[in-house]
Structure 1
Amino acid sequence: MSYQKLVPEAKKGLNKFKMEVARELNVPLSDYNGELTSKQNGSVGGEMVKRMVDQYEKNL
């Protein structure tokens, strides 16, 4: 199965958002994150989703 990005232009913005969240959570993200724990990596993604949902709900 092949996946197609719906908005390829969003990649740069999402990456910037990911790095901002990681900085706030004191998670040292880099080009290679294999040395980080699953908890560290998951906390960044989880916080990103939480903030996106919160923002969406504010705009309803």
Structure 2
Amino acid sequence: MAVEMKDIVELAKSRWFVFQWSEIYGWLANTWDYGPYWSILKENIKNAWIKYFVQE
């Protein structure tokens, strides 16, 4: 089964990882923003990197 980019984008949008500003504010059609789950994931990756490379 081939996965297309539009399927990945739809999954990310439905799970609140990313969303387009144009859907919220009605302008800047090609601008994306991080959702709350992406922000948490990004913070966890950053903390794991710091723990591995700096603290250990």
Q: Give the TM-score taking structure 1 as reference length.
A: 0.35
Larger Rg: 1 or 2? 2
Answer 1 or 2: higher relative contact order, Cα 8 Å, separation at least 6.
Answer: 1
